[in-house]
Amino acid sequence: MKAVIISDGDAKTELSENLKAGIVAALGAGGNDVRTVELEKDRVAPCLGCFRCATSHGAECTNKDAVSEIKRDAKRLDLTLFVTPVVFGHFSSTVKNAVDRGTFSRHWDVVIGYGSDVDEEERSTFLDLTAKHCGAADIVHPGMVDRVDVFVTTSAAESAEICDRLRQDLLAGAQS
Amino acid sequence: MKTICLINGSLRGKKASSLKLLSDIESRLPDSEYAKTTVRVKARPQGGYPPATLRQLATADALVLVFPLYSYALPGALMRLLEDYHAHATSGNEHNREAKVYAIVNCGFPRPVVFDECIRVLKNFCRRLSLDWRFAICISAGPVVVAMERVPLVNPRLKKGLKAIASDLEGGDRPPARDYFVRPVLPAPFCLVAKRWVERKMEMR
């Protein structure tokens, strides 16, 4: 399985680093090809809304940066993992720029929000917001991913549970 | 005189529907009563937004955010501005805790259900900074609605919503109004065809 982990390099915390280490261990255990990309806010351009990706052959993006590199490989990805701080129940701007520009895998996306001070409403907003990406709203949606899983972690114990769940899902996927 | 900060959350420049909506709300606020400033999001604000820009937000009596919906949520560029403003306000700088906050959101999707979480994000932002969330105008099929704005008897809901912002800015301590959902004047089969076209395009990629 070819996977990429996209995270916010400007919002590293003990929680996020432990979480990423756990994810890499969970993915690496199955001999998967895992790439980690840490995006920095000053080095990632947002979507300009020019629609070049929707209208040009090859879905080219006007911006050329780390996100366009991920996007170029997106077709070959089996799994994209977004690891983002939860900001007002939303992705951080850096990770949202990657989402807006279509770095999803189209097969399986996992979105994990983290933050030690995330309250219940923010957690719920984040979960609902992301659940819609898998088409729950039955409308025109940009992702059209076969499967999307979303989690929020506020502690090391929750992160460990998420990594266990990922490990089990990967195992189940490999067996089927 | 009240200070209003109008925030253009679109990066599409003159082509943006958000810019047209922003101009419309601006024209409804007389210069004799309001001091208006406009902040436009930047594609790459190296090192963050300058303190002068953040002070414009911090000192305003009202913030009006006008932006397109990206993936059911705020565009990354607007999110960067809100993050920088939050950092500015929570790092010892004064900000107007009574500032009223409004949003005018437009998107290409035809159903209003898509706006729910975006509004919740803005409410969370206001709660974090103790700002006074008022209401949102959510516009489905934004470019179509904006293009038909001048057509008489079309989109009365949009005009009502824009008027409501102007009226709420004048008013005192009224409770927040309900959000306005502006639906497209498009028949359902047209929306279905558009949906299929987009899906086919995405599959071809």
Q: How far is B164 from chain A (nearest CA, A)?
A: 26
First to last CA, chain A: 13
| Cross-chain CB nearest to A49 (options B10, B82, B194) | B10
Q: What pLDDT is stored for residue B109 in this prediction?
A: 73
Q: Which residues of A touch B71 (CB under 8 A)?
A: 96, 99-100, 133, 142-143
In angstroms, what is the C-alpha Rg of chain A?
15
- Inform me whether the pLDDT recorded for B153 exceeds 70: no
Which tens digit of pLDDT belongs to each residue from A130-169?
877 555 444 444 445 678 889 999 999 999 999 999 999 8
Q: What pLDDT is stored for residue B166 in this prediction?
A: 92
Tell me the three state secondary structure of residue B204.
helix
Q: Which residues of B touch A59 (CB under 8 A)?
A: 205
| Cross-chain CB nearest to A46 (options B11, B47, B72) | B11
Instruction: Decide if A100 and B10 are in contact by the 8 Å CB cutoff.
Output: no
Q: Which two tokens stand for residue B20?
A: 């047209």
Q: What pLDDT is stored for residue B200 in this prediction?
A: 66
**Apex B5 CA angle, B2 and B9, nearest 5:** 160
Q: What pLDDT is stored for residue A122 in this prediction?
A: 97
Instruction: Decide if A48 and B110 are in contact by the 8 Å CB cutoff.
Output: no
Q: Which residues of A touch B83 (CB under 8 A)?
A: 87, 92-93
Q: Which residues of A touch B76 (CB under 8 A)?
A: 46-47, 91, 93-94, 96-97, 99-100
Which tens digit of pLDDT belongs to each residue from B83-139?
999 999 999 899 999 999 999 998 877 677 788 899 999 999 999 999 999 999 998
Q: What pLDDT is stored for residue B101 in this prediction?
A: 97
First to last CA, chain B: 53
Strands in B62-68's sheet, in edge-to-edge order, are B34-40, B2-8, B62-68, B100-106, B132-139, B180-182
Q: What percent of chain B has pLDDT over 70?
A: 84
Region B54-61 average pLDDT:
96
Region A73-92 average pLDDT:
91
Q: What pLDDT is stored for residue A142 in this prediction?
A: 47
Report the amino acid identity of residue B183: R
Looking at every residue in chain A, the average pLDDT score rounds to: 86
Distance between CA atoms of B172 and A124, rounded to whole angstroms?
32
Q: Which residues of B touch A141 (CB under 8 A)?
A: 72, 109
Distance between CA atoms of A40 and A95, rounded to whole angstroms?
9
Distance between CA atoms of B148 and B71, rounded to whole angstroms?
25
Distance between CA atoms of A156 and A1, rounded to whole angstroms?
26
Q: What pLDDT is stored for residue A139 in this prediction?
A: 44
| Cross-chain CB nearest to A42 (options B44, B122, B125) | B44
Which tens digit of pLDDT belongs to each residue from A9-44?
999 999 999 999 999 999 887 788 899 999 999 999
Q: How far is B80 from chain A (nearest CA, A)?
A: 5
- Inform me whether the pLDDT recorded for B164 exceeds 50: yes
Instruction: Decide if B77 and A75 are in contact by the 8 Å CB cutoff.
Output: no
Q: What pLDDT is stored for residue A174 in this prediction?
A: 64
Q: What pLDDT is stored for residue A102 in this prediction?
A: 81
Query: Tokens 């987009």 — which residue?
Result: B198
Q: What pLDDT is stored for residue B52 in this prediction?
A: 95
Q: What pLDDT is stored for residue A137 in this prediction?
A: 45
- Inform me whether the pLDDT recorded for A101 exceeds 50: yes
Region B45-74 average pLDDT:
94
Q: How far is B30 from chain A (nearest CA, A)?
A: 31
Interface of B with A (CB under 8 A): 10-12, 16, 43-44, 46-47, 68, 70-77, 79-80, 82-83, 86, 108-111, 113-114, 116-117, 120-122, 124-125, 127-128, 194-195, 198-199, 201-203, 205
Q: A with B: how many residue pairs have Cβ under 8 Å apart?
A: 123
DSSP annotation of B127 reads H
Q: What is the pTM of this model?
A: 0.90
Q: What pLDDT is stored for residue A138 in this prediction?
A: 46
- What ipTM score was computed for the predicted complex, to two decimals? 0.90
Distance between CA atoms of A127 and A131, rounded to whole angstroms?
6
